[in-house]
Amino acid sequence: MTSLDSANGPSVTTTLPPAERTRAPKVASHVHGESGLDGPDLPAPTTEIVAPHAVDFLADTLRAAPTPITLIPTGPLTNIALLLAQHPDITDKIERIVLMGGAIAEGNITPAAEFNIWVDPEAAARVFASDVDTTMVGLDVTHRALFTSARAERLRAAGRVGKVVAELLDFYGVFHREVYGFDGSPIHDAVAVAYVIDPTLLETRHLNVQVDCASELCRGRTVVDLWRRTGLEPNAHVAVGIDSERFLDLLHERLARLG
Protein backbone atom coordinates (compact mmCIF):
# COMPACT_ATOMS: atom_id res chain seq x y z
CA MET A 1 0.00 0.00 0.00
CA THR A 2 1.04 3.63 -0.45
CA SER A 3 -0.33 6.58 1.45
CA LEU A 4 0.01 10.28 2.14
CA ASP A 5 -1.71 11.87 5.08
CA SER A 6 -1.50 14.76 7.49
CA ALA A 7 -3.58 16.56 10.03
CA ASN A 8 -4.28 19.21 7.44
CA GLY A 9 -5.74 17.08 4.68
CA PRO A 10 -7.30 13.79 3.68
CA SER A 11 -5.41 10.55 3.53
CA VAL A 12 -4.88 9.08 0.06
CA THR A 13 -4.28 5.32 0.12
CA THR A 14 -4.27 2.90 -2.80
CA THR A 15 -2.97 -0.52 -3.66
CA LEU A 16 0.26 -0.74 -5.62
CA PRO A 17 -0.10 -0.46 -9.42
CA PRO A 18 0.11 -3.47 -11.75
CA ALA A 19 3.54 -4.98 -12.33
CA GLU A 20 3.78 -3.61 -15.84
CA ARG A 21 3.34 -0.04 -14.57
CA THR A 22 5.93 -0.60 -11.85
CA ARG A 23 8.46 -1.58 -14.50
CA ALA A 24 7.62 1.37 -16.76
CA PRO A 25 10.20 4.19 -16.93
CA LYS A 26 9.61 7.33 -14.89
CA VAL A 27 11.51 9.51 -17.36
CA ALA A 28 10.31 10.34 -20.87
CA SER A 29 13.55 9.43 -22.67
CA HIS A 30 11.58 8.59 -25.81
CA VAL A 31 10.57 12.26 -25.95
CA HIS A 32 13.52 14.18 -24.47
CA GLY A 33 16.37 11.68 -24.85
CA GLU A 34 18.40 9.89 -22.21
CA SER A 35 19.83 13.14 -20.83
CA GLY A 36 16.47 14.89 -20.77
CA LEU A 37 18.08 17.59 -22.92
CA ASP A 38 19.15 15.69 -26.03
CA GLY A 39 19.87 17.69 -29.18
CA PRO A 40 22.56 20.28 -28.51
CA ASP A 41 26.13 19.44 -27.50
CA LEU A 42 25.96 20.64 -23.90
CA PRO A 43 28.96 20.79 -21.56
CA ALA A 44 29.04 18.57 -18.48
CA PRO A 45 27.36 20.18 -15.45
CA THR A 46 29.70 21.79 -12.94
CA THR A 47 27.26 22.91 -10.24
CA GLU A 48 27.03 20.68 -7.19
CA ILE A 49 23.66 19.36 -6.06
CA VAL A 50 22.48 21.38 -3.06
CA ALA A 51 22.42 19.51 0.25
CA PRO A 52 18.85 20.04 1.54
CA HIS A 53 16.04 17.84 0.31
CA ALA A 54 13.77 19.66 -2.13
CA VAL A 55 10.88 19.62 0.35
CA ASP A 56 13.02 21.20 3.08
CA PHE A 57 14.33 23.78 0.62
CA LEU A 58 10.76 24.70 -0.36
CA ALA A 59 9.62 24.92 3.26
CA ASP A 60 12.59 27.09 4.30
CA THR A 61 12.17 29.37 1.27
CA LEU A 62 8.45 29.82 1.86
CA ARG A 63 8.89 30.56 5.56
CA ALA A 64 11.60 33.14 4.87
CA ALA A 65 9.65 34.94 2.13
CA PRO A 66 8.16 38.32 3.10
CA THR A 67 5.06 37.63 0.96
CA PRO A 68 3.34 34.43 -0.26
CA ILE A 69 4.97 32.66 -3.22
CA THR A 70 3.43 31.12 -6.33
CA LEU A 71 4.69 27.57 -6.99
CA ILE A 72 4.90 26.38 -10.62
CA PRO A 73 5.54 22.61 -10.54
CA THR A 74 6.23 21.31 -14.06
CA GLY A 75 6.81 17.64 -13.23
CA PRO A 76 5.29 14.98 -10.98
CA LEU A 77 3.80 16.46 -7.83
CA THR A 78 5.62 14.25 -5.31
CA ASN A 79 7.57 17.05 -3.63
CA ILE A 80 4.58 19.38 -3.49
CA ALA A 81 2.42 16.70 -1.87
CA LEU A 82 5.16 15.93 0.65
CA LEU A 83 5.52 19.64 1.39
CA LEU A 84 1.79 19.89 2.17
CA ALA A 85 1.84 16.71 4.26
CA GLN A 86 5.03 17.38 6.24
CA HIS A 87 4.58 21.14 6.68
CA PRO A 88 0.81 21.76 7.00
CA ASP A 89 1.50 25.15 8.58
CA ILE A 90 3.10 26.41 5.36
CA THR A 91 -0.03 26.71 3.19
CA ASP A 92 -0.62 30.36 4.08
CA LYS A 93 2.80 31.14 2.58
CA ILE A 94 1.77 29.63 -0.78
CA GLU A 95 -0.08 32.21 -2.86
CA ARG A 96 -1.18 29.55 -5.35
CA ILE A 97 -0.02 26.50 -7.29
CA VAL A 98 0.03 26.71 -11.10
CA LEU A 99 0.92 23.25 -12.34
CA MET A 100 1.60 21.81 -15.76
CA GLY A 101 -0.01 18.39 -15.83
CA GLY A 102 -3.16 16.46 -16.47
CA ALA A 103 -5.65 17.10 -19.24
CA ILE A 104 -9.33 17.07 -20.05
CA ALA A 105 -9.93 13.68 -21.70
CA GLU A 106 -6.43 13.24 -23.13
CA GLY A 107 -3.28 11.32 -22.27
CA ASN A 108 0.29 11.01 -23.52
CA ILE A 109 1.76 8.17 -21.43
CA THR A 110 -1.47 6.13 -21.53
CA PRO A 111 -4.67 6.82 -23.49
CA ALA A 112 -6.13 8.35 -20.32
CA ALA A 113 -3.23 9.88 -18.37
CA GLU A 114 -0.72 12.69 -18.81
CA PHE A 115 2.84 11.81 -17.75
CA ASN A 116 3.33 14.17 -14.79
CA ILE A 117 0.14 13.00 -13.06
CA TRP A 118 0.58 9.33 -14.05
CA VAL A 119 4.02 9.11 -12.41
CA ASP A 120 2.56 9.86 -8.95
CA PRO A 121 -1.24 10.10 -9.02
CA GLU A 122 -1.50 9.84 -5.22
CA ALA A 123 0.60 12.99 -4.90
CA ALA A 124 -1.54 14.79 -7.46
CA ALA A 125 -4.70 13.76 -5.60
CA ARG A 126 -3.21 15.21 -2.42
CA VAL A 127 -2.50 18.54 -4.12
CA PHE A 128 -5.96 18.85 -5.66
CA ALA A 129 -7.54 17.94 -2.29
CA SER A 130 -5.62 20.68 -0.47
CA ASP A 131 -6.97 24.11 0.36
CA VAL A 132 -4.30 25.83 -1.74
CA ASP A 133 -5.54 27.80 -4.76
CA THR A 134 -4.58 25.51 -7.67
CA THR A 135 -4.56 26.02 -11.43
CA MET A 136 -4.14 23.07 -13.81
CA VAL A 137 -2.57 23.75 -17.21
CA GLY A 138 -3.20 20.53 -19.10
CA LEU A 139 -2.01 18.72 -22.16
CA ASP A 140 -5.16 19.47 -24.16
CA VAL A 141 -4.37 23.20 -23.94
CA THR A 142 -0.58 23.09 -24.34
CA HIS A 143 -1.01 21.01 -27.50
CA ARG A 144 -2.73 24.00 -29.13
CA ALA A 145 0.41 26.17 -29.03
CA LEU A 146 3.11 24.66 -31.25
CA PHE A 147 6.56 26.18 -31.61
CA THR A 148 6.76 25.55 -35.34
CA SER A 149 9.84 24.76 -37.41
CA ALA A 150 9.64 28.26 -38.89
CA ARG A 151 9.73 29.82 -35.42
CA ALA A 152 12.62 27.54 -34.46
CA GLU A 153 14.65 28.74 -37.45
CA ARG A 154 14.06 32.35 -36.47
CA LEU A 155 15.17 31.54 -32.94
CA ARG A 156 18.27 29.73 -34.19
CA ALA A 157 19.53 33.02 -35.60
CA ALA A 158 18.88 34.92 -32.36
CA GLY A 159 22.14 34.23 -30.54
CA ARG A 160 23.76 31.45 -28.53
CA VAL A 161 20.77 30.64 -26.30
CA GLY A 162 18.39 30.70 -29.24
CA LYS A 163 20.63 28.27 -31.11
CA VAL A 164 20.71 25.85 -28.17
CA VAL A 165 16.93 25.97 -27.78
CA ALA A 166 16.47 25.42 -31.53
CA GLU A 167 18.71 22.34 -31.32
CA LEU A 168 16.62 21.05 -28.41
CA LEU A 169 13.55 21.54 -30.58
CA ASP A 170 15.18 19.64 -33.45
CA PHE A 171 15.32 16.53 -31.25
CA TYR A 172 12.03 17.15 -29.42
CA GLY A 173 10.20 17.78 -32.69
CA VAL A 174 10.92 14.28 -34.03
CA PHE A 175 8.60 12.72 -31.44
CA HIS A 176 5.76 15.14 -32.14
CA ARG A 177 6.13 14.78 -35.89
CA GLU A 178 6.11 10.98 -35.76
CA VAL A 179 3.41 10.53 -33.10
CA TYR A 180 1.08 13.48 -33.68
CA GLY A 181 1.95 14.70 -37.16
CA PHE A 182 2.72 18.16 -35.71
CA ASP A 183 4.88 20.70 -37.51
CA GLY A 184 6.50 21.85 -34.33
CA SER A 185 6.38 21.07 -30.64
CA PRO A 186 4.29 22.14 -27.66
CA ILE A 187 6.39 23.79 -24.95
CA HIS A 188 4.19 22.48 -22.15
CA ASP A 189 5.94 23.82 -19.04
CA ALA A 190 6.46 27.30 -20.45
CA VAL A 191 2.69 27.75 -20.75
CA ALA A 192 2.30 27.49 -16.97
CA VAL A 193 5.12 29.98 -16.42
CA ALA A 194 3.75 32.36 -19.06
CA TYR A 195 0.31 32.27 -17.45
CA VAL A 196 1.78 33.54 -14.18
CA ILE A 197 3.49 36.35 -16.12
CA ASP A 198 0.36 37.20 -18.13
CA PRO A 199 -2.94 35.70 -16.88
CA THR A 200 -4.75 36.89 -20.02
CA LEU A 201 -2.96 34.20 -22.08
CA LEU A 202 -5.23 31.44 -20.81
CA GLU A 203 -8.95 31.01 -20.39
CA THR A 204 -9.73 29.06 -17.21
CA ARG A 205 -12.83 27.62 -15.57
CA HIS A 206 -13.35 26.86 -11.87
CA LEU A 207 -14.11 23.13 -11.81
CA ASN A 208 -13.80 19.99 -9.74
CA VAL A 209 -10.81 17.77 -10.55
CA GLN A 210 -10.38 14.26 -9.17
CA VAL A 211 -7.37 12.01 -9.87
CA ASP A 212 -7.94 8.34 -10.63
CA CYS A 213 -5.61 6.37 -8.34
CA ALA A 214 -7.27 2.96 -8.59
CA SER A 215 -8.29 2.06 -12.13
CA GLU A 216 -5.96 -0.13 -14.15
CA LEU A 217 -6.97 1.47 -17.45
CA CYS A 218 -7.31 5.08 -16.32
CA ARG A 219 -4.89 5.38 -13.39
CA GLY A 220 -3.44 8.89 -13.38
CA ARG A 221 -6.32 10.46 -15.30
CA THR A 222 -7.45 13.90 -14.17
CA VAL A 223 -11.23 13.56 -14.16
CA VAL A 224 -12.45 17.10 -14.80
CA ASP A 225 -16.12 17.73 -14.07
CA LEU A 226 -16.52 20.01 -17.06
CA TRP A 227 -20.32 20.00 -16.96
CA ARG A 228 -20.68 19.81 -13.15
CA ARG A 229 -22.23 16.32 -13.15
CA THR A 230 -20.87 15.21 -9.76
CA GLY A 231 -22.19 18.04 -7.61
CA LEU A 232 -18.73 18.34 -6.05
CA GLU A 233 -17.43 21.81 -5.28
CA PRO A 234 -14.80 23.24 -7.67
CA ASN A 235 -11.27 22.70 -6.36
CA ALA A 236 -9.14 23.99 -9.25
CA HIS A 237 -8.96 26.55 -12.00
CA VAL A 238 -8.62 24.51 -15.19
CA ALA A 239 -7.17 25.93 -18.40
CA VAL A 240 -9.60 25.44 -21.28
CA GLY A 241 -8.23 27.86 -23.89
CA ILE A 242 -5.03 29.62 -24.91
CA ASP A 243 -4.06 32.64 -27.00
CA SER A 244 -1.45 30.59 -28.85
CA GLU A 245 0.16 33.32 -30.94
CA ARG A 246 0.61 35.71 -28.03
CA PHE A 247 2.10 32.93 -25.91
CA LEU A 248 4.54 31.92 -28.66
CA ASP A 249 5.50 35.54 -29.31
CA LEU A 250 6.23 36.02 -25.59
CA LEU A 251 8.30 32.84 -25.44
CA HIS A 252 10.30 33.77 -28.55
CA GLU A 253 10.90 37.30 -27.31
CA ARG A 254 12.16 36.15 -23.88
CA LEU A 255 14.45 33.46 -25.35
CA ALA A 256 15.86 35.80 -28.01
CA ARG A 257 16.59 38.39 -25.32
CA LEU A 258 18.87 35.88 -23.55
CA GLY A 259 20.91 35.48 -26.73
- Is 82 part of any domain? yes
Residue 173 lies in a domain: no
Taking the C-alpha atoms of residue 251 and residue 150, their distance in angstroms, rounded to an integer, is 14
pLDDT of the residue at 43? 87
Q: What is the pLDDT of residues 55-104, one digit of tens each?
A: 999 999 999 999 999 999 999 999 999 999 999 999 999 999 999 999 99
pTM: 0.88
Question: Considering the domain boundaries, does residue 41 fall inside one?
Answer: no
Q: Considering the domain boundaries, does residue 11 fall inside one?
A: no
Asked whether residue 64 is domain-assigned, the answer is yes
Assess if residue 121 is contained within a domain: yes
Low-confidence ranges of the chain (pLDDT < 70): 1-27
- Burial pattern 165-185, b for ≥16 Cβ within 10 A else e, equals bbbbbbbbbebbeeeeebebb
Which residues span the domain enclosing 129? 50-145+187-258
Check which CATH number belongs to the domain holding 134 and give it. Answer: 3.90.245.10
Q: Is 133 exposed, middle or buried (0-12, 13-18, 19+ CB in 10 A)?
A: middle
Catalytic: which of 87, 143, 176, 188? 188
How wide is the angle at C-alpha 181 spanned by C-alphas 138 and 142, nearest 5°? 15
Q: How many domains does one find in the chain?
A: 1
**Annotation says 176 is catalytic:** no
Neighbours of 111 (CB within 10 A): 11
Identify each DSSP E strand in the chain by its residue range. Answer: 2-6, 9-14, 69-71, 94-100, 134-137, 146-147, 185-186, 202-207, 209-211, 222-224, 236-242
Q: Is residue 160 part of a domain?
A: no
